[in-house]
Amino acid sequence: MVMLMACFDQCCRYGIALNLEKIYLVVERGVLLGHVVSQKGKEPNPKKIKVIVNLQPPNDVKGM
C-alpha cells in the first residue's frame, strides 16, 4: 500500500492524470502491451505466441 501511495504522489507531483476507468489495481496478473505481467515478472502473451507459431510460411518473395 505504501508503494501505491508513493506512485500516486509522484503522479500528482508531475501533473499526470489517471483515468480511473482504465486503472486495474490488486490483480494477480494482467496483460500489458502484449505481455502477461504478474508477480513472477513479465512473460510473453501465450495467445500472441500461438498466432505467430501458426503463421503460414511465405510462398514467394512478395510474401517475405
Higher pLDDT, 62 or 13: 13
Q: Render pLDDT for 3-36 as a digit per residue (tens, 0 to 9).
A: 888 988 999 999 999 888 888 777 888 888 888 9
pLDDT for position 4: 84
Cell numbers at residue 38, please?
504478474
Closest alpha carbon to 31 in 19, 16, 52, 49: 49
pTM confidence score: 0.49
Average pLDDT over residues 31-47: 88
